[in-house]
Amino acid sequence: MEPLQIPVPGERTSQTIRRFRDEGGPVVPIELPGKVNAWMVTSYESVNEVLINDGTLFSKNHLNCPALHDGTIPPDWPLRQLVQGDHLLTKDGDDHRRLRGLINRAFTPARVASMGPRIQQITDGLLDGLAGEGEVVDLVRHFSEPLPIAVICELFGVPEEERYQLREWTNVLLFHTASPEEAAGAAQAMLGYLAAFIERKRAEPGDDLTSGLIQAQEDDGDRLSDNEMLWILWLVLIAGHETTVHLIANSVIALCAHPSQVPATDDQDSWAKVVEEALRSRNSVLNVMFRYPLQDVQVAGTKIPAGEPIVVALDGADTDPVRYGPDATLFDASREPDVHVGFGRGPHFCLGAPLARLEMRIALSSLFGRYPGLRVAVDEISYTPSLITEGPVALPVVLGPR
């Protein structure tokens, strides 16, 4: 079979993934930008088979992929900065466990839970601002984008006036429409900013997670190095907002299309189910990059040669009709909850899942509580041009009445 090319001009990445799965099966050969030959796993079975491996069969380190080695990585490869960084998503086994252990010392469940009242306050402030915005409001610009940026930046102690720049760099890094020079420039600028930011926090620690990470220490005295701190912040500041921006907006679109599924504001159990269904069927993270087989492997009966990159299509798994039936793509929050892979699975399971779940619940319940008549104001929505994440570029809504 000839490799399928992705991205497909004019087609949303979620549609491409579902088409590849339905036409090509659970494991399909693909060609990525830069003419990189790769594979996509697309079904619930094949995705889980790859994700649950502990790093002994599939590595996350690009040095285990000849096509992406330093020096030979194609110059026009758009996601270069993401797959070559020195962070959690490019580490395996003990190296990965050690880093996560140190991060967990500071990023505790108690710290996440303590963010609840502040997230509510930020949300309420943004909703107050919406009322003055006139009849049609772009919900991305005024709500789903500023909220996660404010939350993650506040958690890590990034001052307000420096936040907008982080959003700009992230857009350049994740969208495949940016040129390689732009992406490299954004990555370098962001790393330079963060190095100076860490120095500032060392000199003047605060009550934030950056200061907590600087102080984090295992019982045996092991600590995070400067380089590790730098890359943790780089990854978390990107992964910690982009994903949530789009999932809030995708959920609003789904709830506007299915108004009977909007729970009562204080029915937090039902809101939690709405969030899980959004993660399953309208996820903002469609694909995760990459797993490199350390030897020739069989996945769902197909042979993948050692070292060839595998794109893991979470959206393919979570809308797989074999698992979820013929209406798998339908948004239905009354479904029996299932082990979806919206936050991944296995050793790289999302570090920020508890924070994201909390933030999503507060954002959606507060928005629909304040504006029960909210509806989407346009027929056509355009989506972000990314291989990894998907969400509307803008979301014009009318706040009510219905």
Footprint of ligand HEM (CB under 6 A):
88-89, 100, 235-236, 239-240, 243-244, 247, 283-285, 288, 314, 342-344, 348, 350-352, 355-356
Question: Cβ 82 to ligand HEM, closest distance in Å?
Answer: 10
Report whether 8 contacts 16 (CB < 8 A): yes
Least distance from ligand HEM to the Cβ atom of residue 275, Å: 9
Nearer to ligand HEM, 172 or 236 (CB): 236
Q: How far apart are CA 270 and CA 243, in angstroms?
A: 22
CB nearer to ligand HEM: pick between 157 and 344? 344
The residue among 21 and 345 lying less far from ligand HEM, judged by its C-beta, is: 345
Give the residue at shortest CB distance from ligand HEM.
352
CB 39 within 8 A of CB 30: yes
Q: Is 263 or 347 the residue whose CB approaches ligand HEM more closely?
A: 347
Closest to ligand HEM by CB, 99 vs 178, is 99
CB of 360 to ligand HEM, least distance (A): 6
Angle at 66 between CA 15 and CA 307, to 5 degrees: 60
Name residue, tokens 């979820």: 324
Q: How far is the CB of 247 from ligand HEM (least distance, A)?
A: 4
- Longest Cα–Cα distance of the chain, Å, equals 60
Closer to ligand HEM by Cβ: residue 137 or 341 = 341
Which residue, 14 or 284, has its beta carbon nearer to ligand HEM? 284
CB 97 to ligand HEM: min, Å:
9
The minimum distance between CB 13 and ligand HEM, in angstroms, equals: 14
User: At closest approach, how far in Å is the CB of 256 from ligand HEM?
Assistant: 19
Name residues whose C-beta falls within 8 Å of residue 80's C-beta, 6 or more positions apart in sequence: 73, 180, 183, 184
Instruction: Find the shortest distance in angstroms from Cβ 400 to ligand HEM.
Output: 26
Shortest CB 51 distance to ligand HEM, Å:
6
Residue nearer to ligand HEM on the CB measure, 156 or 324: 156
Query: 83 or 127, CB closer to ligand HEM?
Result: 83
Look up residue 121 and give its two tokens: 């306050």
